Structure 1
């Protein structure tokens, strides 16, 4: 029995077609041919080529960042949760880039085409960071008058470890040490100031 033509099946096949032909040459007709259906059948699920490519991009981003929301909502102390969340984001991006560089390069092209999809995805991640930082403020671990703005600053400050523009650096043997240094600095900057910390700085 033939597999039902669902949106998920179409997206999986589209990813295969993009890998085979590249984003510049892959067409909806290629996807339909690979599925053994008419291109009209594909268009019934995705009305335009752009809509199909945006959906593939969204699917890839969702898979690349799977598990981040659960980490953000966890019950570990906020400083450790922030470290874990940033580390998981970095590792997921690095794994995608190093394990399948051809497909990663393909999605770099699609990401540039799908600015609204990317913007919405970044907003979701910053919201997760905001939740972690708000938890830290509530627990007394962090201090900031504006958790949302601080979350965006943390996201931007760690761009080297998640922005695909820096993918060429992710195989550097010193990249993990650089990541630890940046995250340690950020966590220290968020910590609630205490007299003991003042003594450490002056003593």
Structure 2
């Protein structure tokens, strides 16, 4: 029986393992190919450059968060409940990444600094989801109408909650008082949106 064809997902999983093992400074496409038992040319058929491969790995890693958040943002619950669930899920996802696999989290911190445009796409995704939530809340009468417009409000919420999702604050995420602080911030945000 012939071997299963190599998929981009196989390559991304192997790349993540190689990055975890060697770190971003030493990991190469040859290492990824070796881990898969193929030539580096086979990897390049799927990802034309090392940069393209690393960007795809970062997108995959970030999408594990945005995919779950999108389902919350598009849910049937009232907008306030969805916003609270969304903010809590964002915090939980970021905290889980930082605490469950700290070596890989540190590796990704290096990679995202090298590939800022991928992070910008991720943030635009998050702002888009928040904008949708705010628009839904305003349309239902649950949230007060603007100004500011929904997108400006979404940016403000994203910045106001940065301590709960921006990797620079990862060291604080395991402290018990951080979860309590998130509860307080969410209550303040919802009160402001409903005013």
- Compute the TM-score of the two structures, normalised by the length of structure 1: 0.92
**Aligned twin of 1:172:** 175
Listed as ranges, the gaps of 5+ residues in structure 2 are none
1:130 aligns with 2:134: no
CA distance in 1, matches of 2:137, 2:65: 26
CA distance in 1, matches of 2:23, 2:65: 20
1:3-152 aligned within 5 A: 3-143=4-144, 144-145=146-147, 146-152=149-155
Larger Rg, first or second structure (1 or 2): 1
1:177-196 aligned within 5 A: 177-192=180-195
Listed as ranges, the gaps of 5+ residues in structure 1 are 193-203
Deviations 1:118-160 (A, max 9, x none): 1111111111100110111111121222001001110111000
Q: Pick which of 140-149 and 126-135 moved more.
A: 140-149
* TM superposition shift of 1:164: 0.7
CA distance in 2, matches of 1:73, 1:53: 30
CA distance in 2, matches of 1:165, 1:67: 22
Cα pair 1:78 1:133 within 8 Å, conserved: yes
**After the TM superposition, which parts of structure 1 deviate over 3 Å for at least 4 consecutive aligned residues?**
none
Aligned residues: 192
Cα pair 1:129 1:151 within 8 Å, conserved: yes
* TM superposition shift of 1:114: 1.5
* TM superposition shift of 1:187: 0.9
CA distance in 2, matches of 1:124, 1:23: 25
**Aligned twin of 1:195:** none
Q: Pick which of 64-73 and 32-41 moved more.
A: 64-73
- Compute the TM-score of the two structures, normalised by the length of structure 2: 0.95
CA distance in 1, matches of 2:170, 2:100: 12
CA distance in 2, matches of 1:176, 1:109: 26
Cα pair 1:57 1:110 within 8 Å, conserved: yes
Cα pair 1:64 1:96 within 8 Å, conserved: no
**Aligned twin of 2:157:** 154
